[in-house]
Copies of this chain bind each other. A is one copy, B any other.
Amino acid sequence: MSLRHALLGLVAYHPASGYDLMAIFRTSLAHVWPATQSQVYGELARLTDAELLAVTAQGPRGRKEFTITEAGRSELVRWVTDASVNGPHRNELLLHVFFLGVVDAGEARQYLARQAELATDRLELLRRLESSRSWDNEALGSYGRLALEHGLRLAAMERDWAEWAASQIGSAPTSSNGSSTTGPSGR
C-alpha cells in the first residue's frame, strides 16, 4: 500500500491538491512510483476518511487543498524509517532474458544489444536532467538528488551488463524448441 505513503510524503512536504499531486506523479515520480489520476483522487478520499490527511482550503474550481495531520505524519515517519518494507520486485527485462533460449543466438544477441542502447539512452536522459538542475529547487530536492544518482548508476550498470551479456552469447544456434540443446558455451 505504498501509493498511500507516497501521497502522505508529498503532502507532508507541502500542502497540495490532487491536481498538483498528479503533476508530480507525471514528472518526478514517474519512474519511481507511477500512479493514475483515478488512483490518486480515490486514495486522497480514503486518506481523508482515515484522518491522515485533512482538507484545509478550497480553491476556485472545486479545488481542495490537502494537509497532513499529526496521525498522518507519524504514519509517514513510521513507514519511511522502516527498512524492512520491500514489496515484490518484478523485472520484465530479466523475464525476457530467462526465455531467450527460444530464439537463436543471433536474435538473442541482438535483443541484448538493443537493451544496451536503451540503457545508454536512459543514462543520457538522466545526465541532462542532472545538468538542468530543475529538480533541485523543488520540494523533493535534496533527497531527490540521491534518487537521481541511483538512476544514473542503474542505467550505467544495465548498459554494461547488457553489453557483457551480448558478448557471452556464442554463435552456436539453438534449436527451434530449445528443449534438447543446452545452448551456448557451457560457462
State whether the Cβ of A96 lies closer than 8 Å to any Cβ in chain B: yes
The answer to whether A91 touches B32 (Cβ under 8 A) is: yes
The answer to whether B34 touches A136 (Cβ under 8 A) is: no
**Which chain A residues in 138-167 approach chain B with CB under 8 Å?**
139-147, 149-150, 152-158, 160-161, 164-165
The answer to whether B89 touches A12 (Cβ under 8 A) is: no
- A interface vs B, CB < 8 Å? 2, 5-6, 9, 12-14, 28-29, 31-34, 73, 76-77, 79-81, 83, 85-103, 107-108, 110-111, 114-115, 118, 123, 136, 139-147, 149-150, 152-158, 160-161, 164-165, 168, 172-180, 182-187
The answer to whether B92 touches A86 (Cβ under 8 A) is: yes
The answer to whether B93 touches A184 (Cβ under 8 A) is: no
A sample of 12 cross-chain residue pairs with beta-carbon separation below 8 angstroms, ordered by A number, consists of: A13-B99, A14-B179, A28-B98, A83-B114, A108-B143, A123-B184, A136-B187, A139-B179, A141-B182, A142-B174, A143-B183, A156-B185
CA distance A28 to B98 in the complex (A): 10
Which of B83, B94, B103 sits near A150, CB closer than 8 Å? B94
Which of the listed residues A118, A136, A149 has the most CB atoms from chain B within 10 Å of its own CB?
A149
